[in-house]
Structures are given as structure tokens and as C-alpha cells.
């Protein structure tokens, strides 16, 4: 009896041990061998976050009344996929799909896809509208799936596209911002999961902390730019018109608030439509405002003039003998017309755009002081919130030859980015203080908090009195010279300067007949609301910037005065 009991006990024990071994073995396979697979499967079931739909924050333009208009948002619709293993009538399926989505793949490609019987999922059409997607879905064709899809959409098309940027796959399999603000603010705009789809109860049990205060909500959000859509449109229209009219290689323009550095409009041409990336020339994806450097020519003269006045080597009353041409280090430097003016005051250097006068100022300043001012103005990147910003080429200012300084004084031999140029010229408008140009004014976090970005970094370069004297010269240029003396606005002072520089040739010299035109202006001259920089590269059949850019500049000035109701600063009876 006892022996029988013992054998039964052993039997039960053996059974338990075998069962335990079985469980341990099973656990080994579940946790070690297939652990990762089960973990992913569990994640999908548990969190249900993997909807697979693309999500991303919005980039906004800001209208003058504060209303936000999307510059980059999401569009929603449908994609069509086929399962070749189930699809029985490819001809019929294609005709129905093509009717709903004319942008679907070609008939030949569709038939090739349908013939791949080893596959179960091939996408054949994208971006179907809500209506077309639903209509196609209702037809219930075996082997045809109509699925939800979201994609990046730019309501303005070409509007500020080079600064807004694009979203694409790049070299990996993740959609991410690749250029412009899309790349610069990737951390804010990217979405790590769709919180709207999360299972509340699952989160309640698994992650109470995140349910109450989600760290993503303090990081993810939308971005608000200072770009004003109507001003942007006007600038883009003018830039495009002038580029086409003069068959230029490229043209661009920036409108900025000189007191804050907020960029109100920034446009270049040629450009592209971010909604149609298939037809984008990859060379255009970069941003010439920060990635390219140019020799801007005579719009550098007001900076040279202010440096000389600020250093105390000249005053606005100082005179010099303009000989028309000078020889420096065996190089002959001449005025634009090679004519001598004799003994003339400083303001004529700006008003007649005299290279000899600018070189004379550089001589008076001396190499150390000249280098000091120009390094302060252009030696550092602007820090604008755009990717791939490059620095200025100031090599000539570290050599002992005076010719490098004399040419830099009128904007040749040194090259800077358009944003560096408007930032430096902005110091003249802003009573000697240089501000930080920027596009984004605030980030609207998903948590509901709107975080203003502090762009308050200011660098004093000149005294307010020295800039005022130069501004008076630029003001006189507008009133007494520009547009055959017809540009003057009786109720608004406007400070301007044109620039024409020769383009460099591959041999290291300069073309005699190819030019870079630039134009800067700000108004009201002594308390500016806006500073405008325009340029056009290699315009054909025209030599001077005053011929190409003054009409566009004046159009923008009048538009801005009307649009913002800028109050007059002169010509009003007291």
C-alpha cells in the first residue's frame, strides 16, 4: 500500500517536473527566441498607436491682423493598394481606379504589379480626394484596398517655399523635414505617435504619468513665422517679374523689421512648389539667402561711410579730391563712369556712388579699423533659423594689400550672404545696433502653451549719431536722384542705396559685361518700420541696379505704406 502510494507520488512529481520543464521551455521561446516579435505584437495590440498615418505639426504665416494662415499643413485623403493574390480582374480594377485617380500608375505598370502573385500589397495610387476615395471604396472590388492617407500640403504652393522647406524620405524610410524650417524645427514638428489614437484605459494602467503630463506635449507643436502672406506674395511677384524681364540667373528679396529682425517676407526666383516634388529641380532646394555668398557692390558704401564717421576719421562735412580713378597695388580702381568730380563732400560718395570716394574712406580708416568694423558686421553667421547657413568670404581683409580694403569699401572682393547683408544694413536703420534675423516668432506646443522665441540678441556696431548722418545721405539719394528724381514721396522719408558689382569669372578676374545688382532701402528713414533688400544676379541687357530694381523697390514701398497704413513722417502741416 505504502509502495503503491510512493509510486503514485513519483508519478505525479514526474508529471509536475515535465510540465514545469515544458513551461520553462515555452517561456524560453517566448521571451528569448521570439521575444522581440511578441514585444512588437503586444505593443501594437496594447497601445494601438501604430495607425501608420503620417502626422506632423503645422507651420503658419502670420497676417498683419494676427490671423494665422497655414504655410505647411496636412492634407487627408486615400491611397489605393492591390492584393495581386486576390485581384481577379485587373482590367476592370484598373479602369475603375484610373477613373477615381487619374494620377494612378500607368496601365502597363498596374498590369505588371497585378501579375506579381507572390505579393499581397502594392500601392498603385495616392492622394485621392475624400469623395473619390469613398466612391471607390463603395465599389468593393476584390483585391483592391482603399486606405486612409495623409500627406504634407503647402497651401501657398510656391510661396516662401525655399524658406518653409520640404518633407521627404531622404535616404532613409522616415518622412522628415529636409530643408528650410521643416528641417530646422524637425524636433518640434515631428510626431512620435498619434496621441489621439491612444487607448485611454491602456495608458491608464501602463503609463499614468504620461497620461497626465506627456513629455511630448512639451516638445511637439506648431511653429508660427513672422512671414506676412500678402507681403510675401507681393515680394514674390515683384522678384519673379524682374527675373523674367531681365532673364536673370536668379533674383531675391527680403523685407525685415530692422528693430526686431523679424523677417516679414523672403522670396527668391526661380523657386518650386513643395506640393509637386517630382518636378523640383534639386538645385533649387537649397536656400540662397543663407547658403550663397555674393559681392553686393555699392550697397556696401553706406557701411563704409558709417564706419568712417563712427571712427571719427571723417564727418559729413569732410571733403576729398575725387580723381575718377586711382591705382592701388598696381590695380586701377575707377568710378562707375571713370570721371573725376574734383573736391566734393562726403554725401556725394553715396549720392553719386563713387568708388574712388569709398576707397578714400577705407584709406582714412586704416586696415585695422576697417577690418574691425567689417569683421563685427560680417565675421559671424547671422544665426537665422534656417539650416546650412554659410559664412562670409572676407579673405581680402586678412591680407596686407590695401587694394583688398579699397575694393571691399565698395562691395567688391568680399562676399556675404543676403541675410548677412540685410542684417548689417539693418544696423544703419536701427541706430547702430545689429539684430538677429529670424523667421519663427513662436512655437505653439501641443500642451497649449505658446512659447515666444527670444531673438533679443543685439550687437552695437555704430553710434546712433554716425548712422543718422549716413541715413541723411541715403535719404537725399531717394529724394534727389532715384528714378530720374521722381521717386520722392512727399509724406515719407525713404533711405536707399543701389549697388552694381561685376561678376567673377572662372579665371579669377571679373567680367566686364556681367553684373550683380542689389538695392537696399528702409523707411521711414529715421524710425524705420521696414528694410528691403533686393538683388538680381546676371541680368541681361542692362548695366545698373537703378535700372532693374528701383521699380520693384518703389512698388514695395508704396504697397507697404498702404497695407500697414504707415503714418507719414514729413510733409504734414503742423
Partner 1 sequence: MRLCIGIVAILLVAYIGLIATVVSYAALTIEFSQSVRNDEAEVAALESMYLNNVERIATTDYIADGYIRPSVTKFVPAKSATALR
Interface ranges with partner 1 (CB under 8 A): 48, 69-70, 73-77, 130, 148, 150, 153, 155-157, 159, 194, 196-201, 229-230, 233-234, 237, 489-491, 565, 567-568, 571-573
Other C-beta atoms closer than 10 Å to the C-beta of 489 total: 19
Residue 354 Cβ, how far from partner 1 at the closest point, in Å? 31
Whole-number Å distance between alpha carbons of 570 and 493 = 7
Residue 206 Cβ, how far from partner 1 at the closest point, in Å? 14
Residue 275 Cβ, how far from partner 1 at the closest point, in Å? 9
Residue 493 Cβ, how far from partner 1 at the closest point, in Å? 13
Cell readout for 267 is: 522670396
**Looking at beta carbons only, is 159 or 473 nearer to partner 1?**
159
Burial of 21 (0-12, 13-18, 19+ CB in 10 A): exposed
Other C-beta atoms closer than 10 Å to the C-beta of 329 total: 12
* 476, 482, 487, 489 alpha-carbon torsion, rounded to 10°: -10
**Looking at beta carbons only, is 136 or 473 nearer to partner 1?**
136
Are 289 and 254 a contacting pair, CB within 8 Å?
A: yes
**Looking at beta carbons only, is 189 or 303 nearer to partner 1?**
189
- Per DSSP bridges, beta strands 510-523 and 530-537 are antiparallel
Are 513 and 528 a contacting pair, CB within 8 Å?
A: no
Cell readout for 100 is: 477615381
Residue 7 Cβ, how far from partner 1 at the closest point, in Å? 39
3-state secondary structure (DSSP) of residue 16 = helix
Among 56, 289, 318, residue whose Cα is nearest residue 177: 56
**Looking at beta carbons only, is 48 or 192 nearer to partner 1?**
48
**Looking at beta carbons only, is 157 or 312 nearer to partner 1?**
157
Residue 135 Cβ, how far from partner 1 at the closest point, in Å? 16
Residue 149 Cβ, how far from partner 1 at the closest point, in Å? 11
**Looking at beta carbons only, is 150 or 219 nearer to partner 1?**
150
Residue 486 Cβ, how far from partner 1 at the closest point, in Å? 9
Are 110 and 144 a contacting pair, CB within 8 Å?
A: no
DSSP state of 196: G
Q: Strands, DSSP E only, in 416-509?
A: 433-434, 440-445, 450-452, 459-460, 495-504
**Looking at beta carbons only, is 240 or 292 nearer to partner 1?**
240
Q: Crossing angle of helices 367-378/301-311, nearest 10°?
A: 120
Residue 199 Cβ, how far from partner 1 at the closest point, in Å? 6
Among 323, 418, 423, 415, residue whose Cα is nearest residue 363: 323
Give bridge partners of residue 87 from the DSSP assignment: none
Are 182 and 59 a contacting pair, CB within 8 Å?
A: yes
Cell readout for 220 is: 511637439
Residue 499 Cβ, how far from partner 1 at the closest point, in Å? 26
Burial of 226 (0-12, 13-18, 19+ CB in 10 A): buried
* 181, 378, 392, 296 alpha-carbon torsion, rounded to 10°: 100
**Looking at beta carbons only, is 153 or 369 nearer to partner 1?**
153
* 237, 238, 242, 245 alpha-carbon torsion, rounded to 10°: 50
Whole-number Å distance between alpha carbons of 76 and 146 = 13
Residue 561 Cβ, how far from partner 1 at the closest point, in Å? 10
Amino acid at each position: 500500500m505504502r509502495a503503491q502510494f510512493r509510486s503514485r507520488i513519483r508519478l505525479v512529481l514526474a508529471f509536475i517536473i515535465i510540465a514545469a520543464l515544458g513551461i520553462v521551455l515555452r517561456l524560453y521561446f517566448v521571451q528569448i527566441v521570439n521575444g522581440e516579435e511578441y514585444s512588437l505584437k503586444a505593443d501594437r495590440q496594447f497601445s494601438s498607436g501604430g495607425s501608420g498615418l503620417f502626422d506632423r505639426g503645422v507651420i503658419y504665416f502670420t497676417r498683419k491682423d494676427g490671423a494665422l494662415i497655414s504655410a505647411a499643413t496636412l492634407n487627408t485623403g486615400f491611397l489605393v493598394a492591390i492584393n495581386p493574390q486576390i485581384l481577379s480582374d485587373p482590367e476592370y480594377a484598373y479602369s475603375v481606379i484610373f477613373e477615381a485617380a487619374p494620377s494612378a500608375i500607368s496601365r502597363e505598370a498596374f498590369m505588371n504589379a497585378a501579375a506579381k502573385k507572390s505579393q499581397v500589397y502594392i500601392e498603385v495610387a495616392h492622394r485621392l480626394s475624400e469623395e473619390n476615395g469613398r466612391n471607390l471604396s463603395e465599389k468593393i472590388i476584390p483585391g483592391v484596398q482603399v486606405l486612409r492617407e495623409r500627406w504634407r500640403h503647402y497651401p501657398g504652393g510656391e510661396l516662401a517655399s525655399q524658406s518653409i522647406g520640404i518633407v521627404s524620405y531622404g535616404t532613409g524610410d522616415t518622412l522628415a523635414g529636409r530643408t528650410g524650417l521643416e528641417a530646422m524645427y524637425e524636433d518640434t514638428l515631428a510626431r512620435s505617435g498619434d496621441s489621439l489614437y491612444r487607448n485611454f484605459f491602456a495608458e491608464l494602467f501602463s503609463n499614468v504619468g504620461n497620461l497626465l503630463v506627456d513629455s511630448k506635449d512639451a516638445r511637439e507643436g506648431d511653429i508660427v513665422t513672422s512671414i506676412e502672406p500678402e507681403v510675401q506674395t507681393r515680394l514674390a511677384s515683384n522678384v519673379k517679374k524682374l527675373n523674367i524681364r531681365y532673364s536673370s540667373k536668379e533674383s531675391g528679396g527680403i523685407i525685415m523689421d530692422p528693430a526686431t529682425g523679424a523677417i516679414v517676407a523672403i522670396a527668391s526666383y526661380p523657386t518650386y512648389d513643395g506640393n509637386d516634388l517630382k518636378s523640383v529641380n534639386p538645385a533649387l532646394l537649397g536656400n540662397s539667402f543663407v547658403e550663397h555668398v555674393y559681392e553686393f557692390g555699392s550697397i556696401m558704401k553706406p557701411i563704409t561711410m558709417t564706419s568712417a564717421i563712427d571712427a571719427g576719421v571723417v564727418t559729413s562735412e569732410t571733403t576729398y579730391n575725387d580723381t575718377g580713378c586711382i591705382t592701388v597695388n598696381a590695380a586701377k580702381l575707377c568710378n562707375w563712369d571713370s570721371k573725376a568730380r574734383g573736391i566734393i563732400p562726403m554725401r556725394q560718395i553715396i549720392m553719386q556712388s563713387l568708388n574712388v570716394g569709398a576707397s578714400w574712406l577705407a584709406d582714412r580708416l586704416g586696415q585695422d579699423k576697417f577690418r574691425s568694423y567689417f569683421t563685427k558686421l560680417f565675421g559671424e553667421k547671422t544665426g537665422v533659423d534656417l539650416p546650412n547657413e554659410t559664412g562670409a568670404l572676407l579673405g581680402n581683409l586678412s591680407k596686407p594689400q590695401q587694394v583688398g580694403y579699397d575694393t571691399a569699401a565698395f562691395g567688391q572682393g568680399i562676399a556675404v550672404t543676403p541675410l548677412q547683408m540685410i542684417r548689417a544694413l539693418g544696423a544703419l536703420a536701427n541706430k547702430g545696433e545689429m539684430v538677429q534675423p529670424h523667421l519663427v516668432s513662436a512655437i505653439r506646443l501641443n500642451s497649449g502653451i505658446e512659447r515666444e522665441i527670444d531673438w533679443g540678441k543685439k550687437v552695437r556696431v555704430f553710434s546712433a549719431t554716425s548712422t543718422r548722418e549716413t541715413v541723411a545721405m541715403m535719404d537725399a539719394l531717394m529724394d534727389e536722384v532715384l528714378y530720374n528724381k521722381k521717386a520722392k514721396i512727399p509724406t515719407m522719408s525713404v533711405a536707399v542705396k543701389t549697388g552694381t558689382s561685376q561678376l567673377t569669372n572662372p579665371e579669377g578676374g571679373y567680367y566686364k559685361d556681367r553684373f550683380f545688382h542689389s538695392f537696399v532701402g528702409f523707411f521711414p528713414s529715421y524710425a524705420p518700420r521696414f528694410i528691403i533688400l533686393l538683388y538680381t544676379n546676371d541680368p541681361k541687357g542692362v548695366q545698373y541696379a537703378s535700372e532693374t530694381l528701383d521699380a520693384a523697390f518703389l512698388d514695395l514701398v508704396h504697397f507697404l505704406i498702404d497695407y500697414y497704413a504707415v503714418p507719414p513722417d514729413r510733409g504734414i502741416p503742423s
